[in-house]
Structure 1
Amino acid sequence: MLWLEDVHVRRGGTHALRGVSLEVERGEIVALIGANGAGKTTTLSTISGLLRPESGRIRFAAEAGAAPVDIAAMKAEAIVAAGISHCPEGRQVFASLSVADNLRIGAYLRRDKAGIDRDIADIETQFPILKRRAEVPGDRLSGGEQMMLVIGRALMSRPKLLLLDEPSLGLAPQLVEQIFDILARIRNEGVTILLVEQNAVMALDLADRAYVLEAGSLVLSGTGRELAGNADVRRAYLGAA
């Protein structure tokens, strides 16, 4: 579904991505792990059009059998329209807007009012707390509620590929488990996921495959189980001696 091919990105004077090549297959959860500053957020922002690659290709095929399209030079809103939605690091809800209005903003490219209303009802079924707090401003929600809102808002564009940046950040352990259960359910409903996550233990447990980034370069890849059992990964990211 998604191919990054020798992607280089510079941010200011920093060579943030150095020839990154990776693939995401339809129906997978793929995790990106690595230390702070490794280039994980830069990778997602480049895919979603918030950053421009200096060189390399990013190809995306929303539908099975469709010819891949190079999205590297596309504007962010065109990438959303193509089928990619991005949940940014830090959640970034619209603080003064209600939960309901935050969800509707996720559908800003759509014109099918009846479909939007149905999707909001579906999301409120998946996340009952959002229905109960529909008129509450976004900044009045807890961290876990905000994360649910951001995921729901991203789903309102009906993405084929969901980019998630640090969904467990700042959440209590029981909420982290709940969020990861939600991600598994979303994948089972047909949305492919590319996940950036500091909690490498849970990310590798959830992911079909994973990549390890160091200083802007990919240094390891494999199934989630393979990387969870890799001695170097265990020492660096899983807290093993």
Structure 2
Amino acid sequence: MSEMPEVVTITTVVDETPTVKTFVFDKLFAFRPGQFCMVWIPGVDEIPMAFSAANSITVMKVGDATQALFSLKAGDKLGIRGPFGNGFSPSGKVLAVAGGIGVTPLFTLAASGEVDTFILGARTKEELVFAEDLEKVSDLKIATDDGTYGFHGFVTGIIDQIDITSYDTICVCGPEMMMKGVLDRLVAKGIENRGQFSMHRYMKCAVGVCGSCCMDDHGLRVCKDGPVFTGDLIKSGEFAHHHRGPSGRKE
């Protein structure tokens, strides 16, 4: 793990969807699926990103930093710091549940051959990321909000159609309200301890010092104690209720 940015050169930019790009760079990083790196965009900002491979990150354009990242092309430079965090710890029969760009850390888990069933959700068919690759390495089930592909509805609708208790590990990443829907179903079955949820919070240092990513009420640091937490840890507290912004205030 490097706590100082390592300068990399972008070799390829892949347009995955109209709002998602993969940036491939010229150096390899050893990481566990679910770990993250801090990506430094020179002159702009440093933001946390999940690896999509040992030499790539996959990014959705959602704010100023990612918009600046989207303007970069092959030959441009980035700084990569990390990897950080704990990553997923799958065992037995594994279900992965992803929503939107939350597919990224779970894609690396599936690519390593550790996922039996993968439930992938997106707003539309056009916004599905990595679907073709995931179909090759797992039993893929797809949900789209508008019904343009697969199940018409949310990923939780597919979960309601399967026996979730047959899985030993349920790995989840996506919008927080989506993850809350999954957690509610695990709690109802009494298996919340089988759930592993990848959390996203505002981060500055990524090494557990600044406290900007601490979660109420237990004080767990997303960068150091996470970003992956079991369902029994997060079922109470701020999860799906609020988070802290750059100023430290609840939002």
TM-score by length of 1: 0.35
Specify which structure has the higher proportion of strand: 2
Larger helix proportion, structure 1 or 2?
1
Taking structure 2 as the reference length, the TM-score comes to 0.34
Work out which structure has the larger RCO, using CA pairs closer than 8 Å and 6 or more positions apart in sequence. Answer: 1
